[in-house]
Amino acid sequence: MPKVGVHVSIAGSVDRAVDRAIALGCDTFQIFTRNPRGWRRRRLGDGEAREFARKLGASGIGPAVGHMPYLPNLASPKRAVYAKSVEALGAELATCRRLGIPYLVAHLGSHLGAGAEEGSRRVIAAINSALSEGPGDVMLLLENGSGSKNGIGSTFEEIARIIDGVDAKERVGVCLDTCHAFAAGYDLRDEGSLGETMDEFERALGLWRLKVVHINDSKGGLGSGVDRHEHIGMGRIGDGGFRAILRHGALARLPMILETPLDGRRDDVEELRWVRRLAGEAGPA
**pLDDT for the residue 43:** 84
Respond yes or no: is residue 67 known to be catalytic: yes
Look at residues 1, 132, 137 and name the one whose alpha carbon lies nearest to residue 66.
137
Query: What pLDDT is attached to residue 132?
Result: 93
Contact 64, 30 (CB under 8 A): yes
Q: How far apart are the first and last CA of the chain?
A: 11
Q: Would residue 15 show up in a list of annotated catalytic residues for this protein?
A: no
* CB contact at 8 A, 258 and 2: no
227 is catalytic: yes
Which is catalytic among the residues 67, 236, 247, 248? Answer: 67
Q: Judging by DSSP bridges, how do beta strands 229-230 and 217-218 pair with one another?
A: antiparallel
Alpha carbons 82 and 74: distance in angstroms, whole number: 6
Cβ atoms of 213 and 175 within 8 Å: the answer is yes
**Burial level of 273, CB count in 10 A (0-12/13-18/19+)?**
middle
Residue 107 is a catalytic residue: yes
User: Active site residue: 209, 229, 236, 266, which one?
Assistant: 229
Note if 111 is an active site residue.
no
- The 10 Å Cβ neighbour count of residue 74 is 29
Catalytic site residue from 227, 230, 268, 271: 227
Please identify which of the residues 34, 97, 214, 231 carries the catalytic annotation: 214
Active-site annotation holds for 214: yes
Local confidence pLDDT in tens for the 285 residues of the chain? 899 999 999 999 999 999 999 999 999 999 999 988 888 888 889 999 999 999 999 999 999 999 999 999 999 999 999 999 999 999 999 999 999 999 999 999 999 999 999 999 999 999 999 999 878 899 999 999 999 999 999 999 999 999 999 999 999 999 999 999 999 999 999 999 999 999 999 999 999 999 999 999 999 999 999 999 999 999 999 999 999 999 999 999 999 999 999 999 999 999 999 999 999 986 554
Q: Is 122 exposed, middle or buried (0-12, 13-18, 19+ CB in 10 A)?
A: buried
Q: Which amino acid is at 194?
A: L
* Coil vs helix vs strand at 168: coil
Q: Which residues of 181-204 are buried (b: 16+ CB within 10 A; e: fewer)?
A: bbbbebbbbebebbeebbeebeeb
CA–CA distance, 80 with 78 (Å, rounded to integer): 6
The answer to whether 37 is a known catalytic residue is: yes
pLDDT for the residue 42: 80
- Per-residue confidence (pLDDT) for residue 282, from 0 to 100: 61
Domains of the chain: 4-282 (3.20.20.150)
Q: List 29's β-bridge partners, or say none.
A: 6, 64
Angle in degrees, 0-180, between the axes of helices 79-99 and 46-59, rounded to the nearest 10: 60
**DSSP type of residue 140:** E
Which of these is catalytic: 202, 259, 267, 277? 259
- Please tell me which residue in 27, 177, 217, 271 is annotated as part of the active site: 177
Would you tell me how many other CB atoms lie within 10 Å of the CB of residue 70? 12
Q: What is the pLDDT of residue 249?
A: 93
Instruction: Please pick, among 122, 180, 247, 266, the residue that the annotation labels catalytic.
Output: 180
Cα-Cα-Cα-Cα torsion 237, 249, 68, 130, nearest 10 degrees, comes to -140
What pTM, to 2 d.p., does this model score? 0.96
